[in-house]
């Protein structure tokens, strides 16, 4: 069992010290003004963790597929959805040699956070040894939003604080919550406000419990809309999300964002080049993201592996006020998964495929990627209509 | 830039949007700042009476002529905010002030709010007036040559202030004003000022500033104001006027942190108000901010009224024979703040006793 400094928590100040900056009861209690400037016991650690994840040339490996979703992945290569198979697959991913050169954080599903690898070591420990910060998916999935236009909202706030405290003890240092917004369904004002508020509540609770919140309002790719419409909706969603977070006193130096890139809908007539995606996406970021936020880790949302890399690369052709990087699941794992096919003798080849994509995205983060030599398979789109995670 | 000003702006004119962006960028030129010379007739009367001058048009004209014709002053100023009367005034030899300013390469701007009134039911909190017929007035000012506008919203710190009502009302007022200005070709300077009055500490000022700026940008975004065609004019983050002072580096850190948390990079520049600080204090604080080794994607500069004019007024005293000396003093302040905007101020502008004089007035009414 490897003990790493990331897992030590003895330096934490006592909870009784947290209230030190609040005013005494002598004067009438302020009705509305907060005098605490977002000082929580974990403030310094949150800032440090966020900065570590947002380090140059690195991004996040999203491997937090729920058991059901992981089942779909395994089924696509003819494997049964058993714990053993999920363990084998996740072991393959986290033991890829030198993965930490390109990957700064890995998002886990709850099962994986408590799992051991095939050789008995704890998966979190393997990650820490690789120089990768472990993270944890904390939302409880999407359900229909009553009163909306068939839209969804994200559950998971009940008991979130104590769950996150436990995850922190287990070694997680960041969290992730994914909500969605659908353009074909509006989006309605209600759906956008709910998405923003849920994210803000989750972010505040996460920071209170030592986890850097990754804030993910995914604007789904589904639809025939053009890039201008996506841009308009994205501006609205991020304005609402940041205001909700400000109202919840979230400390922006200790969060990360996971936006979708600004692209046309999957069924739109006109496609966009990486340069166009970059132009619109960067414009969105410049208009909505305060520079205090250390990192913006894009989701791939159904783009092909190569598309996702090219778009990221296009966004990093000039200096940005925040680290602009990736938090990819399918766009990192697809070829790796197919190469493995569940066969032990293919593990090394699969790991090589993972490292290849990780390195490509690392270069893209630095603005230095070229697509010469990319395999045809990596260019295949992975959009699934009405995709549920 | 091409696509972003198409469908989703109120003015379906790329040319209009481009002009706003260009003007805002120029106003935010590093090393240049804005002269806030837009004191209303009532307020300028206070300045004139402080040097025993009558508040008549000729005196108001004489002061502004002194300022605008100071030789070389537009090396340091990118813009001048005017009051409506001044927009149509001339120098003593008949040259319109507008021409003087534009010949210097600077942009003339115009104050468009109509002062503040109390919000009934609050503890003395205010909202700014001036939205009625604002569009028509902006069109008129654009025709007269103005290319930016200014609207000052005022908030105060108290046990229960600023209230949610005051924050929302002022933020919405600023957003309405900003959108209308852009519709008629004027770059809106968005000015939420938190008064220093009070015994609160710098942390409280920081919390309140962040709260208000978050609300302001939410309103601007809801109203679809083109951020690239705006400027922010706000207070520095300082302790309250009744609290012990802190050093320039502390003010710089809190101020820049507050801005980094709230102001999107699309905004080209933040120009600070001086709000009662002495001339030298204001310069040093601005300088400290620009020396801070942290990423600031917007220009940090000045839009000073009192902190540019105080010692100049004292040198002038209304006398023709003092004009040259007064202009020299004015240039010293402009240059010092220009340097501060580049983080290069060395304190050489501190010679004048008047430069260190606090300009704080309790319960200051503009």
pLDDT tens column, B266-307: 999 999 999 989 999 999 999 999 999 999 999 999 999 999
Number of helical H runs and strand E runs in chain B = 12, 10
Q: Which residues of A touch B (CB under 8 A)?
A: 21, 27-28, 30-37, 227-228, 231-232, 235-236, 239, 242-243, 246-247, 252-253, 279-280, 283, 285-292, 321
What is the average per-residue pLDDT within A226-255?
A: 97
Residues of A with CB below 8 A from B214's CB? Answer: 242-243, 246-247
Nearest 10 degrees: Cα torsion B214, B218, B221, B222: -170
Nearest-angstrom CA–CA distance, B199 and A386? 57
* Per-residue model confidence (pLDDT) at position A110: 97
Nearest-angstrom CA–CA distance, B60 and B47? 10
Contact A235 B221 (CB under 8 A): yes
Phi, psi dihedral angles at B150 (to 5 degrees): -145, 140
pLDDT above 50: residue A21 = no
Mean of the per-residue pLDDT values for chain A? 90
Contact B8 A231 (CB under 8 A): yes
pLDDT, one tens digit per residue, over A323-345 is: 999 999 999 999 999 999 999 99
pLDDT above 60: residue A286 = yes
From the list B164, B215, B263, the residue facing A32 with the nearest CB is B164
Q: Which of A153, A221, A217, A218 is nearest to A184 (CA)?
A: A221
* Per-residue model confidence (pLDDT) at position B220: 98
Closest residue, chain A, to B259 (C-alpha): A290
The confidence band for A279, taking pLDDT boundaries of 50, 70 and 90, is very high
pLDDT, one tens digit per residue, over B7-36 is: 444 445 788 899 999 999 999 999 999 999
Nearest-angstrom CA–CA distance, B29 and B23? 10
Contact A228 B8 (CB under 8 A): yes
Most A-contacting residue of B8, B199, B221, B230 (CB-CB within 10 A), to test interface: B221
pLDDT above 70: residue A278 = yes
From the list A30, A227, A239, the residue facing B159 with the nearest CB is A30
From the list A28, A232, A286, the residue facing B266 with the nearest CB is A286
- The alpha-helical segments, DSSP class H, found in chain B are 14-27, 41-49, 57-68, 84-87, 97-103, 134-144, 164-183, 202-222, 248-262, 279-291, 306-316, 323-340
A287 to chain B nearest CA, in Å?
5
* Per-residue model confidence (pLDDT) at position B94: 97
pLDDT above 70: residue B106 = yes
Set A65, A164, A258, A305: catalytic member: A258
pLDDT above 90: residue A385 = no
B294 to chain A nearest CA, in Å?
10
**Residue B61, Cα to own-chain centre: how many angstroms?**
21
* Per-residue model confidence (pLDDT) at position A388: 58
Residues of A with CB below 8 A from B8's CB? Answer: 228, 231-232
In DSSP terms, B303 is beta-bridged to B34
pLDDT above 90: residue B359 = no
**Residue B266, Cα to own-chain centre: how many angstroms?**
19
Q: Which of B241, B228, B246 is nearest to B285 (CA)?
A: B246
For residue B187, give the 3-state DSSP assignment: strand
Containing H/E element for B81? strand B77-82
Contact A33 B263 (CB under 8 A): no
Q: Which residues of B touch A (CB under 8 A)?
A: 3-4, 6-8, 157-164, 203-204, 206-208, 210-211, 214-215, 217-218, 221-222, 227-228, 257, 260-266, 295-297
Nearest-angstrom CA–CA distance, A93 and A79? 16
Most A-contacting residue of B6, B8, B159 (CB-CB within 10 A), to test interface: B159
The confidence band for A34, taking pLDDT boundaries of 50, 70 and 90, is very low
Decide if B30 contacts B344 (C-beta within 8 A).
no
Contact B261 A289 (CB under 8 A): no
pLDDT, one tens digit per residue, over A186-211 is: 999 999 999 999 999 999 999 999 99
Buried b (16+ CB within 10 A) or exposed e, B42-72: ebbbebbeeeebeeeeebbbbbbbbbbbbee
Contact A37 B296 (CB under 8 A): no
Structure-token pair, residue B183: 């519709």
Contact A34 B211 (CB under 8 A): yes
- The alpha-helical segments, DSSP class H, found in chain A are 43-53, 67-76, 83-94, 110-113, 123-129, 160-170, 189-208, 227-247, 274-288, 305-315, 330-340, 347-365
From the list A239, A252, A321, the residue facing B295 with the nearest CB is A321
Contact B210 A246 (CB under 8 A): yes
Q: What percentage of chain A has pLDDT greater than the value 70?
A: 88
* Per-residue model confidence (pLDDT) at position A274: 95
pLDDT above 70: residue A15 = no
CA geometry: angle A374, A354, A97, nearest 5 deg:
130
In DSSP terms, A213 is beta-bridged to A175
pLDDT above 60: residue B169 = yes
> What does the longest C-alpha to C-alpha distance in chain B come to?
57
B184 to chain A nearest CA, in Å?
22
pLDDT, one tens digit per residue, over B212-242 is: 999 999 999 999 999 999 999 999 999 999 9
Decide if B127 contacts B116 (C-beta within 8 A).
yes
* Per-residue model confidence (pLDDT) at position A302: 85
Contact B204 A252 (CB under 8 A): no
Q: What percentage of chain B has pLDDT greater than the value 70?
A: 93
- Of residues B366 and B246, more confidently modeled: B246
* Per-residue model confidence (pLDDT) at position A65: 97
Containing H/E element for B82? strand B77-82
* Per-residue model confidence (pLDDT) at position B306: 94
Residues of A with CB below 8 A from B3's CB? Answer: 227-228, 279-280
The confidence band for A176, taking pLDDT boundaries of 50, 70 and 90, is very high
Closest residue, chain A, to B230 (C-alpha): A287
Nearest-angstrom CA–CA distance, B238 and B244? 10
DSSP state of A56: T
Nearest-angstrom CA–CA distance, A42 and A207? 7
* Residue positions of B annotated with a catalytic role: 191, 233
For the ranges A19-28, A70-79, B13-22, the maximum mean pLDDT occurs at: A70-79
B282 to chain A nearest CA, in Å?
24
pLDDT above 80: residue B5 = no
pLDDT, one tens digit per residue, over A84-133 is: 999 999 999 999 999 999 999 999 999 999 999 999 999 999 999 999 99
* Per-residue model confidence (pLDDT) at position A20: 40
B323 to chain A nearest CA, in Å?
45
CA geometry: angle B310, B311, B313, nearest 5 deg:
70
Contact A37 B207 (CB under 8 A): yes
Structure-token pair, residue B225: 């104001």
Containing H/E element for B103? helix B97-103
What is the average per-residue pLDDT within A285-290?
A: 98
CA geometry: angle B269, B274, B280, nearest 5 deg:
110
Q: Is B217 exposed, middle or buried (0-12, 13-18, 19+ CB in 10 A)?
A: buried
Residues of B with CB below 8 A from A237's CB? Answer: none
Strand pairing category for A152-154 and A142-144: antiparallel
Relative orientation angle of helices A227-247 and B202-222, to the nearest 10 degrees: 150
N-terminal to C-terminal alpha carbon distance within chain A: 33
pLDDT above 60: residue A38 = no
CA geometry: angle B302, B305, B309, nearest 5 deg:
110
Phi, psi dihedral angles at A121 (to 5 degrees): -75, 150
Active site residue A258: yes
DSSP A225-273: --HHHHHHHHHHHHHHHHHHHHHTT--GGG-EE-PPP----TT-SS---
Residues of A with CB below 8 A from B260's CB? Answer: 252, 290-292
What is the average per-residue pLDDT within B190-209?
A: 97
pLDDT, one tens digit per residue, over A143-166 is: 999 999 999 999 999 999 999 999
Question: Among A15-19, A335-339, B161-165, B177-181, which stretch is predicted with the lowest mean pLDDT?
Answer: A15-19
Active site residue A129: no
Mean of the per-residue pLDDT values for chain B? 94
CA geometry: angle A181, A186, A187, nearest 5 deg:
30
DSSP state of B158: B
pLDDT above 70: residue A217 = yes
Record the pTM.
Answer: 0.90
Decide if A267 contacts A223 (C-beta within 8 A).
yes
Nearest-angstrom CA–CA distance, B12 and B16? 8
Q: What percentage of chain A has pLDDT greater than the value 90?
A: 84
Nearest 10 degrees: Cα torsion B351, B353, B356, B359: -140
From the list B6, B203, B297, the residue facing A35 with the nearest CB is B203
* Per-residue model confidence (pLDDT) at position B13: 79
Residues of B with CB below 8 A from A32's CB? Answer: 160, 162-164
pLDDT above 70: residue B363 = no
DSSP A89-132: HHHHHHTSTTGGGTEEEEEE-HHHHT-B-TTSSBHHHHHHHTT-
DSSP B38-57: ---HHHHHHHHHTTT----H
Side-chain-side CA neighbours of B32 within 13 Å: the count stands at 19
**Residue A348, Cα to own-chain centre: how many angstroms?**
26
Output the CA–CA distances (angstroms, integers) from residue B46 to A229, A345, B235, B364, in the order listed. Answer: 52, 87, 22, 11
pLDDT above 90: residue A36 = no
* Per-residue model confidence (pLDDT) at position A19: 39
């Amino acid at each position: 069992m490897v003990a790493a400094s990331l897992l030590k928590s003895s330096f934490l100040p006592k909870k009784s010290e947290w209230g030190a900056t609040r005013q005494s009861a002598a004067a009438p209690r302020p009705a509305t003004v907060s005098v605490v400037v977002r000082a929580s016991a974990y403030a310094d650690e949150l800032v440090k963790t966020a900065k570590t994840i947002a380090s140059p040339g690195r991004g996040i490996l999203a491997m937090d597929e729920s058991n059901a979703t992981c089942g779909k992945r395994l089924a696509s290569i003819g494997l049964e959805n058993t714990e053993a198979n999920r363990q084998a697959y996740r072991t393959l991913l986290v033991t890829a040699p030198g993965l930490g050169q390109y990957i700064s954080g890995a998002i886990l599903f709850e099962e994986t956070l408590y799992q051991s690898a095939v050789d008995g070591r704890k998966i979190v420990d393997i990650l820490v040894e690789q120089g990768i910060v472990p993270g944890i998916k904390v939302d409880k999935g999407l359900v229909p939003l009553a009163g909306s236009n068939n839209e969804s909202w994200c559950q998971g706030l009940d008991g979130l604080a104590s769950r996150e405290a436990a995850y922190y003890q287990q070694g997680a240092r960041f969290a992730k919550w994914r909500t969605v917004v659908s353009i074909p369904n509006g989006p309605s004002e209600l759906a956008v406000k709910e998405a923003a508020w849920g994210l803000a509540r989750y972010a505040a609770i996460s920071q209170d419990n030592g986890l850097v919140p990754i804030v993910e309002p995914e604007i789904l790719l589904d639809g025939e809309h053009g890039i201008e419409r996506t841009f308009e909706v994205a501006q609205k969603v991020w304005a609402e999300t940041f205001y909700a977070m400000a109202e919840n006193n979230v400390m922006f130096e200790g969060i990360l964002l996971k936006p979708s890139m600004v692209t046309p809908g999957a069924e739109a007539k006109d496609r966009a080049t990486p340069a166009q995606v970059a132009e619109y996406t960067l414009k969105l970021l410049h208009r909505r993201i305060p520079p205090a936020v250390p990192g913006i880790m894009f989701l791939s949302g159904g783009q092909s592996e190569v598309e996702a890399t090219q778009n990221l690369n296009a966004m990093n052709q000039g200096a940005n006020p925040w680290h602009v990087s990736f938090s990819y699941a399918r766009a990192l794992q697809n070829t790796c998964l197919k190469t493995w096919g569940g066969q032990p003798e293919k593990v090394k080849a699969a790991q090589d495929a993972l490292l290849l994509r990780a390195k490509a995205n690392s270069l893209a983060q630095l603005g230095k990627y070229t697509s010469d030599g990319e395999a045809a398979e990596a260019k295949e789109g992975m959009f699934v209509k009405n995709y549920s995670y | 830039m091409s696509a972003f000003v198409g469908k989703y702006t109120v003015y379906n004119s790329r040319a209009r949007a481009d002009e706003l962006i260009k003007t805002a960028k120029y106003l935010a030129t590093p090393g240049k700042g804005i002269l806030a010379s837009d004191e209303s007739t009532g307020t300028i009367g206070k300045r004139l009476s402080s040097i025993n001058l009558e508040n008549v048009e000729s005196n108001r004209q004489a002061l502004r002529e002194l300022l605008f014709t100071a030789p070389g002053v537009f090396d340091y100023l990118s813009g001048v905010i005017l009051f409506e009367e001044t927009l149509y005034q001339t120098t003593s030899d008949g040259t319109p002030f507008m021409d003087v300013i534009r010949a210097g390469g600077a942009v003339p701007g115009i104050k468009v709010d109509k002062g503040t009134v109390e919000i009934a039911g609050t503890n003395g909190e205010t909202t700014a007036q001036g939205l009625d017929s604002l569009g028509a007035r902006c069109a008129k000012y654009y025709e007269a040559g103005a290319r930016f506008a200014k609207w000052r919203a005022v908030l105060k710190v108290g046990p229960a202030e600023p209230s949610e009502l005051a924050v929302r009302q002022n933020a919405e007022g600023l957003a309405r004003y900003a959108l209308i200005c852009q519709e008629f070709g004027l770059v809106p300077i968005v000015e939420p000022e938190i008064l220093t009055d009070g015994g609160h500490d710098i942390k409280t000022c920081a919390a309140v500033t962040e709260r208000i700026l978050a609300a302001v940008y939410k309103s601007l975004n809801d109203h679809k104001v083109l951020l690239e065609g705006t400027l922010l004019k706000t207070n520095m983050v300082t302790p309250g006027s009744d609290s012990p002072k802190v050093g320039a580096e502390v003010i710089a850190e809190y101020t820049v942190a507050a801005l980094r948390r709230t102001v999107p990079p699309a905004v080209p520049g933040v120009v600070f108000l001086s709000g009662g600080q002495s001339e030298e204090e204001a310069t040093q604080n601005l300088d400290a901010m620009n020396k801070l080794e942290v990423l600031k994607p917007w220009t940090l500069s000045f839009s000073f009224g009192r902190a540019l004019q105080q010692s100049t007024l004292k040198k002038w005293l209304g006398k023709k024979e003092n004009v040259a000396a007064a202009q020299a003093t004015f240039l010293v302040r402009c240059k010092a703040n220009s340097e501060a905007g580049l983080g290069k101020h060395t304190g050489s502008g501190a010679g004048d006793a008047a430069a260190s004089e606090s300009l704080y007035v309790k319960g200051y009414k503009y």
